[in-house]
């Protein structure tokens, strides 16, 4: 079977006449008849029946047309992707999965603003829980994944990266900060001790069964807020912060265009660790294999002892770039 044979039989379906289809294809009638006969022989099917009015497709022939059309559609898409027409710029495709970081949106928007308005592209930014970011990269639904490492989760995540043949590249390191509304009772503080947070609700992103490994609250020496709020999207999280005395923990980066102008970030006093944000991707030389299984840790496995770091930034196992 060849693509040319499939194009011939699809053209024949438009005319129901060997002579008319041959004329449209600019080939001789015997060549078209031979191509159809070769397909029937290869698949042991009768695809068309000839009569005095021309030809009609059998039920098997109609089903064959469906598959032929499907194959040719994908073949044409593949050709257009890898061999664009002369003078036509190749289409750029990029998909990134990220934890809910305002700076990821900001960088994404900045990149879009720098692209020529005549360029052909398909860009996608997905935000989700940490396990979904890893899953998207492993299954190649995304080329890159953005997430953070700390001493508290590094052993756990590096093990996942190794099992799933991922590599992590650090971008910058942050001291964890508190996000609160501008008129929050703690908003005027130069820094905030974790013990002062007990009377305020903590709003976090839902991490499913992976909550114990991926919560930013692990960075606090005394993560004991009595009130917890879980959300699945950043818009809701910052709406809750703007309207209540709730707080959340993050990198401290403020992107007013993304999170609004009524929220401030305050450093946390004596955090247990820093947050090293970076990106993950499939290691070079790893072939695509459909949707490989994502290796996961059993829920609740240890992620290392709670160790207080000194004031200087430290990296454990991956190269650091200072912000």
- Domains of the chain with CATH codes: 3-82 (1.10.10.10), 174-275 (3.40.190.290)
Residue 219 has a pLDDT of 52
Q: Contact at 8 Å (CB) between 166 and 137?
A: yes
User: What is the pTM for the complete model shown?
Assistant: 0.55
Dihedral of the alpha carbons of 71, 293, 157, 253, in degrees to the nearest 10: 30
Q: What is the pLDDT of residues 175-193, one digit of tens each?
A: 888 899 999 999 999 998 8
Distance CA 207, CA 59 (A): 51
Residue 137 confidence (pLDDT) above 70 = yes
pLDDT at 307: 29
Q: Which residue has the higher pLDDT, 241 or 116?
A: 241
* Crossing angle of the two packed helices 18-25 and 29-43, in degrees rounded to 10: 110
Rg (CA), the chain: 29
Q: How far apart are the first and last CA of the chain?
A: 57
Of 147 and 253, the one with more pLDDT: 147
Q: What token pair was written down for 247?
A: 């707080």
> Tokens 């305050």 label which residue?
266
Which residue has better confidence, 218 or 322? 218
pLDDT digits (tens, 9 = 90+) for 282-318: 987 665 544 444 554 433 333 333 322 233 333 333 3
Residues 6+ apart with CB under 8 A from 134: 145, 147, 160, 164, 166, 280, 294
301 Cα distance to chain centroid:
26
pLDDT in tens, 87-130: 555 567 889 998 877 777 777 777 788 887 887 888 888 888 88
């Amino acid at each position: 079977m060849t693509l040319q044979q499939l194009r011939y039989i699809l053209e024949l379906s438009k005319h129901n006449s060997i002579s008319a289809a041959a004329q449209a294809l600019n080939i001789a009638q015997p060549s078209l008849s031979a191509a159809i006969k070769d397909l029937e022989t290869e698949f042991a099917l009768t695809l068309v029946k000839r009569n005095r009015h021309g030809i009609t497709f059998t039920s098997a022939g109609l089903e064959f047309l469906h598959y032929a059309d499907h194959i040719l559609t994908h073949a044409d898409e593949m050709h257009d992707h890898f061999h664009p027409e002369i003078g036509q710029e190749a289409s750029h495709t990029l998909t990134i999965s990220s934890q809910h970081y305002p700076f990821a949106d900001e960088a994404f928007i900045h990149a879009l603003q720098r692209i020529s308005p005549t360029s052909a592209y398909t860009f996608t930014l997905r935000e989700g829980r940490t396990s979904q970011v890893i899953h998207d990269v492993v299954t190649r639904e995304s080329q890159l994944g953005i997430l953070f490492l700390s001493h508290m989760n590094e052993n756990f995540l590096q093990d996942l990266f190794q099992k799933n043949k991922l590599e992590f590249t650090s971008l910058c390191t942050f001291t964890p900060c508190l996000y609160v509304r501008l008129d929050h009772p703690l908003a005027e503080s130069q820094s905030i001790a974790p013990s002062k947070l007990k009377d305020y609700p903590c709003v976090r992103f839902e991490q499913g069964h992976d909550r114990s490994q991926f919560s930013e609250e692990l960075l606090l020496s005394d993560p004991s807020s009595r009130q917890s709020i879980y959300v699945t999207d950043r818009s809701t999280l910052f709406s809750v912060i703007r309207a209540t005395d709730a707080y959340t923990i993050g990198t401290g980066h403020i992107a007013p265009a993304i999170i609004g102008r009524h929220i401030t970030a305050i450093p946390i006093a004596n955090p247990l660790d820093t947050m090293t944000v970076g990106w993950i991707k499939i290691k070079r030389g790893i072939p695509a294999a459909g949707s490989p299984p994502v290796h996961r840790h059993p829920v609740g496995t240890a992620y290392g002892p709670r160790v207080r770091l000194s004031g200087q930034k430290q990296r454990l196992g991956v190269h650091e770039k200072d912000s």
